[in-house]
């Protein structure tokens, strides 16, 4: 049983004044925030209202002691209810995709359509604990500019684009640096974030579902397709050739067009 929902922060885009499509909630992945989706959200908002969510323990949303998918799914359902008077479409990437699946499986009548980006309803073996450790190791008292933290992360995170993504969570206010991530809870709950609740695997969501994954990513393997179809029997599984796990950032035009076309069919 999920605990109480957290009241999530979101950026609201109202959509067109007339002929608006179904409202869309966007849930980011681990270490992300709603701001990562601003450009794509503006494209989607040409046809529908869009809310880009900061998940619990991320961005400007409140912190909480747990990071289970049932709890995060409840957060999304509460956010949808607060913001829209009708069932919504939910788009989630990676961690946000699992939270979106949990929302649809928990309360199917509240989710009219589901888009899951490069994740499946299965446990994973990789861990991002080393990234959390790297962020915790940064001496925040020695930083007055974000760029000063970059070399402090370089040994643990050699990929410059990944460091740049993570550093978006470092804020400098009144000369003081802080992370907009609850690093202690992300560390203690990492096992849950990698897992998939067994209880949710016994449920089904019969609504329209799109699993859109990167062709060069290993997050949605052929072996995972059986789990997808068992839990989401009306799922369509599509691939973006050449894209990796961050498919929406690597191929934003192809990603946004695939999602927009699919949503138009579901409106």
- 79 as an active site residue: the answer is no
Distance CA 110, CA 73 (A): 11
- 184 as an active site residue: the answer is yes
Q: What phi and psi values does residue 262 have, to the nearest 5 degrees?
A: -65, -45
The one catalytic residue among 94, 118, 213, 248? 94
Distance CA 17, CA 154 (A): 47
Distance CA 78, CA 124 (A): 27
- 94 as an active site residue: the answer is yes
Sign of CA dihedral 60, 64, 69, 75: negative
Strands 176-179 and 170-173: antiparallel
Residues in Cβ contact with 155 at an 8 Å cutoff, skipping those fewer than 6 apart? none
The one catalytic residue among 184, 206, 218, 267? 184
In the three-class reduction of DSSP (H, G, I as helix; E, B as strand; rest coil), residue 187 is classed as helix
In the three-class reduction of DSSP (H, G, I as helix; E, B as strand; rest coil), residue 25 is classed as strand
Residues catalogued as catalytic: 94, 184, 245
């Amino acid at each position: 049983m999920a605990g109480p929902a957290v009241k999530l922060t979101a950026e609201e885009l109202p959509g067109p004044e007339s002929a608006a499509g179904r409202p869309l909630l966007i849930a980011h992945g681990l270490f992300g925030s709603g701001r990562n989706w601003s450009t794509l959200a503006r494209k989607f908002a040409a046809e529908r209202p869009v809310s880009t969510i900061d998940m619990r323990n991320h961005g400007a949303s409140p912190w909480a002691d747990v990071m289970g998918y049932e709890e995060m799914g409840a957060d999304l359902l509460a956010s949808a209810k607060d913001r829209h008077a009708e069932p919504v479409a939910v788009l989630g990437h990676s961690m946000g995709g699992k939270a979106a699946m949990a929302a649809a499986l928990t309360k199917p009548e509240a989710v009219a359509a589901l888009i899951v980006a490069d994740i499946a309803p299965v446990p994973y073996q990789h861990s991002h604990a080393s990234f959390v450790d790297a962020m915790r190791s940064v001496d925040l008292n020695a930083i007055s500019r974000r760029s000063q933290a970059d070399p402090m992360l370089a040994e643990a995170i050699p990929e410059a684009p990944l460091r740049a993504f993570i550093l978006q969570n470092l804020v400098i206010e009144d000369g003081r640096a802080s992370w907009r991530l609850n690093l202690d809870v992300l560390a203690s709950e990492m096992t849950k974030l990698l897992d998939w609740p067994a209880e949710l695997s016994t449920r089904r969501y019969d609504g329209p579902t799109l699993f859109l994954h990167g062709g060069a990513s290993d997050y949605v393997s052929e072996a995972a397709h059986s789990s997808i179809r068992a839990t989401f029997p009306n799922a369509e599984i599509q691939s973006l050739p050449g894209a990796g796990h961050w498919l929406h950032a690597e191929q934003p035009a192809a990603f946004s067009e695939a999602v927009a076309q699919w949503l138009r069919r579901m409106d």
